[in-house]
Amino acid sequence: MPPEAPAAALRAPFGERLAAARAARGSLCVGIDPHPGLLAGWGLDDSPEGLERFSLTVLEAVGAVAVALKPQVALYERHGSRGLAVLETLLARAADASVLTIADAKRGDIGSTMLAYAEAWLGEGRPLAADAVTLNPYLGFESLRPAIDLAAATGRGVFVLALTSNPEGRSVQHVGGDESVARSIALAAAAENAGAGPGHVGLVVGATIGDAARHLGLDLGSLNGPILAPGVGAQGAGTVELRAAFGNALPFVLPTSSRAILAAGPHPADLRAAAERTRDELA
């Protein structure tokens, strides 16, 4: 089944829209991670109602400050259909406010199942469609083809897991040394973006990886696409760590902070101040 080609005319390519948002708002991506502890810290119930209040408050407070918002899909799924309905509302409200969203779903499968995931998160008119979605390539990069192609057709983007900072990731991503799995994923993503002006295929690379990219021979500066870099703030990464991890690729990086900003809630003014402070520190 081919991608939804007619939808291409509905919006500019994701890379162009992201570049425009960065020029207007800076590069900080704010994660929306409604963990039970954060809900409690805000005085909210761990319920769909608390989830909605939390999510829409973050959108209101930091939507004009962040380059994008990244809701963690699992924390909505744990509330079942009512939690996913909250996510639908958040994505729709963000779109109405011209705030870019990255659904942190980490989907990955093969064939018709991968196509279904692609349609769910990237298809035109789908209730869960975001501006971009995170993908897991460990069934093979080419297994992601339905999502990569549909994203291009609908003016959306994908972020493919490449080099994460969790200790377990090394057992897969670092295998092969100079010909590592992580390097093969980065090369495949760069090939998708070749010849285009900012590409729609990004990578997820942890902000706390240190010199792992250089050690594995990843030329992240040649990606011609965005790099989502979780780990800023509560996980310990700041300007020094970002420079060490990304070097000349830093202009493509979207540093991502969640808990360090969200803990400043529940008052919108405090959330916005925390996001502005983080953004300015990383500039």
Q: How many domains does the chain have?
A: 1
Least confident piece of the model among 30-39, 87-96, 109-118, 208-217: 208-217
Is residue 70 flagged as an active site residue?
A: no
Percent of the chain with pLDDT over 90: 83
pLDDT in tens, 44-96: 999 999 999 999 999 999 999 999 999 999 999 999 999 999 999 999 999 99
Considering the domain boundaries, does residue 6 fall inside one? no
Considering the domain boundaries, does residue 4 fall inside one? no
Considering the domain boundaries, does residue 3 fall inside one? no
CATH number, domain at 191? 3.20.20.70
Which residue range is the domain that position 45 belongs to? 12-232+245-282
Considering the domain boundaries, does residue 7 fall inside one? no
Question: 11, 35, 93, 106: which is the annotated catalytic residue?
Answer: 106
Considering the entire predicted model, what is its pTM? 0.95
**HEC string for the chain:** CCCCHHHHHHCCCHHHHHHHHHHHHCCCEEEECCCHHHHHHCCCCCCHHHHHHHHHHHHHHHCCCCCEEEEECHHHHCCHHHHHHHHHHHHHHHHHCCCCEEEEEEECCCHHHHHHHHHHHHCCCCCCCCCEEEECCCCCHHHHHHHHHHHHHHCCEEEEEEECCCHHHHHHHCCCHHHCHHHHHHHHHHHHHCCCCCCCEEEEECCCCCCHHHHCCCCHHHCCCCEEEEEECCCCECHHHHHHHHHHHHHHEEEEECHHHHCCCCCHHHHHHHHHHHHHHHC
pLDDT band for position 234 (50/70/90)?
low
pLDDT in tens, 143-202: 999 999 999 999 999 999 999 989 899 999 999 988 999 999 999 999 999 987 899 999
Q: What is the pLDDT of residue 6?
A: 44
Considering the domain boundaries, does residue 32 fall inside one? yes
Considering the domain boundaries, does residue 5 fall inside one? no
